[in-house]
Amino acid sequence: MMISDLPRDMVEEVLCKLPMTSLRRARFTCKRWNNTLSKDWRFTRKYNGEAAKRKEFQVVMILEYKVYLMSVNLHNPSPSIEPIGKLHDAGVDIINVFHCQGLLLCVTKDGTRLVVWNPFTGQTRWIKPRDSYHRCDRYALGYENRNNYPLKVLRFVDDYDRNLKRQVREFEIFNLNSSSWKVVDFNPHWMIQYFYRGLSLKGNTYWFAENKVAPGKIGRVFLLCFNFTTESFGPRLLLPFHGRYGDTLTLSSVRKEQLAVLFQECAPAYTLKVWISSKVGPNAVSWNNVFLSVDMKPLIGFQFHCFAGSFFVDEKNKAVVVIDTTRGHPFTIRNMAYVLGENGYFKSVDLGDFAPMKCWPLVCSYLPSLVKF
């Protein structure tokens, strides 16, 4: 009997046990496996279900300019966050990544290239700029809520360029169906700081934003949503706290259905709080009571950095995992995961390697999908 003659049910049982990085290689050893399993949503659901049975879930991390798939298990007395494998090794360094529907939008280290990528199927698509990319570009990946779900990339910059000695304001959208850029005429009365990372949920992307105020003054922070169906920003959305420039503010998602927001005031108590939304949409959002509140001063004694501080939520264990670095001498700083829970629960997990000063560790939730583009 040849390997291609194995019953489909047996093949699925074997492949469901493999890490995703090994699954891609295994599929290509047999043409029939690749043709059927790469197009079968039933197998994808089964594959995700097997991971849930193992009481683990997967996240994507950027460490040392490389993109990794990580297995997370917080059910053990000692939490584990282990690399399953390197997802992208095309000879380029990645500085930022954005997740939407199982797809990743990756920004190269030099800021000159964009690639949309499905780690589950291996499909990639490099996106050429209409003119050129800018070092302070903000990006988002989303889709229209219509029958064919056309995928789109939002790119915008609204900053003073010291080299050009002028304000640079550009808003444009790339449609992956038509392979074309569309310029959007927009002059916002708010600003999105370059270190605020957008979060895609249900096809739309959410950001923290601030009022444009006079130099030396600090504007209040609020939430904005970019609607990829209408190709426009919606109204200001309420946050469950009063944030300002200098605080650590980060967005994450829960179950692909709700937003989670992390807030750590810059001074004086360093108390960290996380909320999960009860209802979320482009024009309105409501919040549940505080999911978790932790006094960080006796635990680590510092504020999570606004460049880092990305996080994910484990609802079952009532835990939050924040990805940041240690503090100290530049040559001793390491990438770390800080696991926070109820009743003072705190663990730190060394993610290995010294952290480059310009490559902050990042994490985003991930669920494999068969979405094509």
Q: Please give the pLDDT value at position 305.
A: 83
The ranges of the chain annotated as CATH 2.120.10.80 are 55-365
Question: Region 142-170: what's the mean pLDDT?
Answer: 79
User: CATH assignment of 1-54, given 1.10.10, 1.10.530, 3.40.50, 1.20.1280?
Assistant: 1.20.1280
Is the pLDDT assigned to residue 53 strictly greater than 60?
no
Q: Name the range with the highest mean pLDDT among 7-16, 202-211, 307-316.
A: 202-211
Split at pLDDT 50, 70, 90, the class of 124 is: confident
Looking at per-residue pLDDT, the higher value among 193 and 41 belongs to 193
pLDDT greater than 90 at residue 270: no
Tens of pLDDT along 67-81?
A: 888 888 887 778 888
Name the β-bridge partners of 362: 62
Cα–Cα distance measured from residue 364 to residue 75, given in angstroms and rounded to the nearest whole number: 20
Residue whose tokens read 């193992």: 54
At 42 the pLDDT is 64
Q: Give pLDDT, residue 265.
A: 85
Alpha-carbon Rg for the chain, nearest whole angstrom, is 21
Ranges in the chain annotated CATH 1.20.1280: 1-54
CB 351 within 8 A of CB 362: no
Instruction: List the single range of 6-10, 52-56, 171-175, 276-280 with lowest mean pLDDT.
Output: 52-56
The confidence score (pLDDT) of residue 355 equals: 62
Interval 257-273 mean pLDDT: 86
pTM (2 d.p.): 0.84
Q: What pLDDT, on the 0 to 100 scale, is given for residue 183?
A: 93
Q: Distance between CA 145 and CA 203 in Å, rounded?
A: 7
Higher pLDDT, residue 255 or 181: 181
Please tell me the distance from the alpha carbon of residue 372 to that of residue 119, in angstroms, as a whole number. 11
pLDDT above 70: percentage of residues in the chain? 76
The residue behind tokens 């510092």 is 302
**Mean pLDDT of all residues belonging to the chain:** 81
Q: What is the mean pLDDT of residues 201-215?
A: 86
Report the topology of domain 55-365: Neuraminidase (2.120.10)
